[in-house]
Amino acid sequence: MEKKRFYITTPIYYPSGNAHIGHAYCTTMCDIFARYKRSRHFEVYFLTGTDEHGLKIEKNAKAANKTPKEYVDEIVARFKKLWDAMKISNDDFIRTTDERHIHVVQSVFSDFIKNDDVYLGKYEGWYCTPCESFWTDTQVGENHLCPDCGRPVQKEVEECYFFKTKKYLPELKKYFEIPDAICPVSRKHEMENNFIKPGLEDLCVSRTSFSWGIPILENKKHVAYVWLDALFNYLSALGYRSEDDSLYKKFWESEESEIIHVIGADITRFHTIYWPEFLSALHLRLPDKVFVHGLLMMKDGKMSKSKGNVVSPFPLIDRYGVDALRYYFAREIIFGQDGQFTPEQFIERINMDLANNYGNLVSRTLSMIIKYFDGIIPPYVENINSNDKELEDLAKQTKISFEQKMDDLHISEAYMDVMNLLSLANKYIEDNAPWALSKDSSKLNNLKSVMAHLAYVISITSMMLKPVLVTKADKVFDYLSLSDEERDYNRIFDTNLLANKKVSKGEVLFPRLNNDDVEFVKGLMINNKK
């Protein structure tokens, strides 16, 4: 059955510091996918938010002489400001300090106690505060370092509740057998080899050594472990166990809905092992896909304030526009693999693809239609010029490949195909030389065909680019005199849609950048001493 509803979530971000370009990357990629699905007439629910409890928050707030809630409120406001700047189209922003969320976590924990899914015991082992993660002796090694972040861990001894992971191991193994449930497949194999095959240990799901968390109703000296707490945001945001659970029924319970969690590599274990087990314990549906995106790296490795290599997105947006940064994320970095942000790559990608390829085609084509036909787009007629068919065939193939690759979350590859079509259209201009055709009255139909084909390519590529170019694509549609109703994915591929439309020409879409811009971006690296 083809599913026409779509629920996509970002990881909910831990507000222990300001949002940076790495946070913007993940959220933007989810936004691109959500916008694409909406353009294809899917009913979409797009969720992001913040994970606000835990020892790290409590310590940071104390150091800042603030309450934990005051501390996270300030940082959450900055996250929301960044999402506004990045034009993120989320339908909801969940906070784990929301009452709607607290209610769900407490209710679920009560069920775990009632159904004998947890037991009270004593935890003695290693804890990483930055990652909010527990580790065994074997996992931390002789140097007692966190396997995820490489920081020193601390020995902890405290009373806590443990979740019976082995009880739901059969359901977990079945989940791992589902093709494409966990992507890329390398992440699935990593979880199998590192956790499932060696044998799962029962998971500590409460803490008593600090108080900044959701209290367990049956034992209020305990607060829910941050990773049990955080994971249930995907349900609490939909109204699960609330008076109005219509969104939950529509986007989680319904078989007509596809559910995709997009997460970072550092939280794969929680989403692919413990989350499916928690859901199994509650007899709830498991997500269709957990997609693990890669890290956004700098030349000298992972972004870190201590390295002084963290980039704030705001100056990039202010200088180059939000579309440029969104496009860089979509095209330059293969989704699911680690990518690298460098000033040189950023400038080069904008110049090559947006200025030289897309922007140049739009500018030249509109100018020629205005010059040769008083701005009126001629009707589209196939196969008049010798190379019309090549462009026609690639346009048809690009639509097919774009949809296939976007549906599979191969976003960079999808936009590579779009750029290839634009490149052929630019070559098509040179091959047909419309300036020469315009001087020969017998070649009028040839000239009309060239202009119609170019306008068509501009319209369909703008539609495919629209999930990324959230401001400039609509400007191009304005130039083509397309109404709001005509800016529809299903209509835009009608070759007769543009016939007799009057075009206009506005500002340069993407001005070419130079070495000064490279130096500007280099200067945005945040020094940790500031």
Q: Give the model confidence (pLDDT) of 420-479 as tens digits.
A: 999 999 999 999 999 999 999 999 999 999 999 999 999 999 999 999 999 999 999 999
Q: Is residue 329 part of a domain?
A: no
How confident is the prediction for the chain on average, in pLDDT? 92
Average pLDDT over residues 34-39: 98
Taking the C-alpha atoms of residue 48 and residue 59, their distance in angstroms, rounded to an integer, is 25
Is residue 304 pLDDT above 90, yes or no? no
Could you give the C-alpha distances from 408 to 175, 180, 291, 413, 475, in angstroms and in order? 19, 10, 10, 10, 29
Evaluate whether residue 530 is within a structural domain: no
On whether the CB atoms of residues 61 and 359 are closer than 8 A, the answer is no
Strand partners, 435: none
Residue 97 lies in a domain: yes
Computed on alpha carbons and rounded to an integer, the radius of gyration of the chain in Å comes to 26
Return the structure tokens found at 4: 């026409």
* Nearest of 344, 353, 377, 399 to residue 501 by alpha carbon: 377
CATH number at residue 283: 3.40.50.620
Question: Which H or E run contains 222?
Answer: strand 219-224
Under a CB-based contact definition with an 8 Å cutoff, are residues 331 and 415 in contact?
Answer: yes
- Judgement on whether residues 146 and 61 belong to the same structural domain of the protein: yes
Strands 182-183 and 133-135 come out as unpaired
Q: Are strands 5-9 and 43-50 parallel, antiparallel or unpaired?
A: parallel
Distance of alpha carbon 361 from alpha carbon 505, whole angstroms: 12
Residue 119's contacts (CB-CB under 8 Å, 6 or more residues apart) are 161, 162, 164
Burial class (CB in 10 A: 0-12, 13-18, 19+), 96: buried
DSSP bridge pairs for 46: 8
Residue type at 506 in one-letter notation: G
Cα of 361 vs its chain's centroid, Å: 29
Query: What's residue 432's pLDDT?
Result: 96
Contact 324, 350 (CB under 8 A): yes
Q: Are 360 and 426 in contact (CB under 8 A)?
A: yes
Same domain, 133 and 220: yes
Specify whether the CB–CB gap between 27 and 89 falls below 8 A: no
CB 106 within 8 A of CB 214: yes
Confidence class for position 307, pLDDT limits 50, 70, 90: low
DSSP annotation of 19: -
Our measurement of the distance from residue 48's CA atom to the centroid of its chain's CA atoms, rounded to an integer in Å, reads: 10
On whether both 455 and 374 belong to a single domain, the answer is: yes
pTM to 2 decimal places: 0.92
In a domain, 499, yes or no: no
Contact 438, 397 (CB under 8 A): no
Which of 149-158, 181-190, 243-252, 362-371 comes out lowest in average pLDDT?
149-158
194 within domain boundaries: yes
User: Which residue type, as a one-letter code, is found at position 106?
Assistant: Q
Shared-domain flag, residues 249 and 375: no
Same domain, 278 and 347: no
Is residue 59 in a domain?
Answer: yes
- Return all residues near 386 (Cβ < 8 A) that are at least 6 apart: none
Q: Is the pLDDT of residue 308 over 60?
A: no
Residue 216 to residue 206: CA distance in whole angstroms: 8
Query: What pLDDT is attached to residue 430?
Result: 96
- What domain range is 363 assigned to? 343-492
Helix or strand holding residue 363 (H, E): helix 360-373
Whether residue 248 is found in the same domain as residue 350: no
> In terms of domains, do 19 and 77 share one?
yes
Asked if residues 79 and 13 have their Cβ atoms less than 8 Å apart, the reply is yes
Q: Are residues 363 and 486 in the same domain?
A: yes
The lowest-confidence range among 253-257, 302-306, 318-322, 331-335 is 302-306
For 160, residues 6+ apart whose C-beta sits below 8 A from its C-beta are: 120, 121, 122, 123, 204, 205, 206, 207, 208, 222, 225
- Cβ(368)–Cβ(451) under 8 Å? yes
The pLDDT, as a whole number, for residue 178 is: 96
For 333-341, what is the mean pLDDT?
A: 84
pLDDT score for 41: 96
Q: Is the separation of the CB atoms in 154 and 262 below 8 Å?
A: no
Structure tokens at 356: 């030289």
Name the burial class of residue 176, with classes exposed (0-12), middle (13-18) and buried (19+) by CB atoms within 10 angstroms of its CB. middle
- At 526, the pLDDT band (50, 70, 90 cuts) reads low
Which pLDDT belongs to residue 149? 74
Per-residue pLDDT tens over the stretch 148-170? 777 888 877 889 999 999 999 99
Q: Is residue 66 part of a domain?
A: yes
Structure confidence at residue 300 as a pLDDT band (50, 70, 90): low
- Give domain status of residue 323, yes or no: no
Write the pLDDT tens digit of every residue in 125-145: 787 877 767 777 777 787 888
Q: At what angle do helices 21-39 and 322-332 cross, to 10 degrees?
A: 90
Weakest mean pLDDT among 51-55, 130-134, 377-381, 489-493: 130-134
Give the tens place of pLDDT for each residue, 273-291: 999 999 999 999 999 999 9
202, 211 in Cβ contact below 8 A?
no
Q: Which residues contact 312 (CB under 8 A, 6 or more apart)?
A: 18, 20, 21, 524, 526
The reported pLDDT for the residue numbered 158 is 87
Angle between the 21-39 and 68-85 helix axes, to the nearest 10 degrees? 50
* C-alpha distances out from residue 456 to 364, 413, 477, Å: 14, 22, 11
Same domain (yes/no): 242, 353 = no
Residue 529 has pLDDT above 50, yes or no: no
| Cα dist from 449 to 320, 426, 440, 482, 504, whole Å | 35, 15, 14, 20, 19
372 and 272 in a common domain: no
Q: Given this model, what pLDDT does residue 143 score?
A: 80
- For position 2, what pLDDT does the model report? 67
Residue with tokens 């194999």: 189
287 and 222 inside one domain: yes
At 183, which amino acid appears? C
Count of the separate structural domains present in the chain: 2
Q: Which amino acid is at 122?
A: K
- Of 18-32, 239-253, 398-412, 448-462, the least confident: 18-32
Kindly state whether residues 59 and 170 are assigned to the same domain. Answer: yes
pLDDT-based confidence at residue 334 (cuts at 50, 70, 90) = confident
Strands 219-224 and 215-216: antiparallel
pLDDT confidence tier of residue 1, bands split at 50, 70 and 90? low
For 353-360, what is the mean pLDDT?
A: 98
User: Is residue 196 predicted with pLDDT exceeding 90?
Assistant: yes
Q: At 304, give phi and psi (nearest 5°).
A: -160, 135
Query: What span, in angstroms and rounded, lies between the C-alpha atoms of 167 and 163?
Result: 9
* pLDDT given for residue 527 in this prediction: 45
- Does the pLDDT value for residue 260 go beyond 60? yes
Q: What is the CATH number of the domain that holds 364?
A: 1.10.730.10
